[in-house]
Structure 1
Amino acid sequence: MTEVLVSIRLPSEMARELRKLAERRRYLDVSEALRDIIRQRWHRDEQPLLYELDRMRVELKQEMRILKQAVEGSR
């Protein structure tokens, strides 16, 4: 795969938020976070049904985790 260098300008507030996001999600750097965001957006636009299924799968996992914690907490 050939790589292409892309340079972008971001408002300073957006750059700060992106750095925070990169730290929260444990990306190596801001570039990795941007690549992931672009990849997700591309996936959503290219195959909307698969994207929606993936999103629903993630939401179900989160809800199941919350329910499991609630059940374990009530014991």
Structure 2
Amino acid sequence: MSNLDQLRQTFSDALAIPPDQVVNDLRFNSIPQWDSVAHMALVAAIESAFDIMLDTDDVIDMSSFAKAQEIVRKYNVAL
């Protein structure tokens, strides 16, 4: 599984949505499943999946699946 697929699966699992709904346009609060509580669970799941620790600014800035890809890349994860 590629890192991009792993990130997509992490979103899918954390938000309890099908992987095919995890597209670049998926945005925070655009679906009921991605609220502020789910956001923190998602952050924890991403950190665990890639063995990284996101800083506070990145947690706040992670507003979409596309932005999450950009942020994860900052931590030397090839997507």
Q: Name the TM-score, length of structure 1 as normaliser.
A: 0.30
Q: Point out which structure has higher relative CO (alpha carbons under 8 A, 6+ apart).
A: 2
Larger gyration radius, structure 1 or structure 2: 1
Q: Name the TM-score, length of structure 2 as normaliser.
A: 0.29
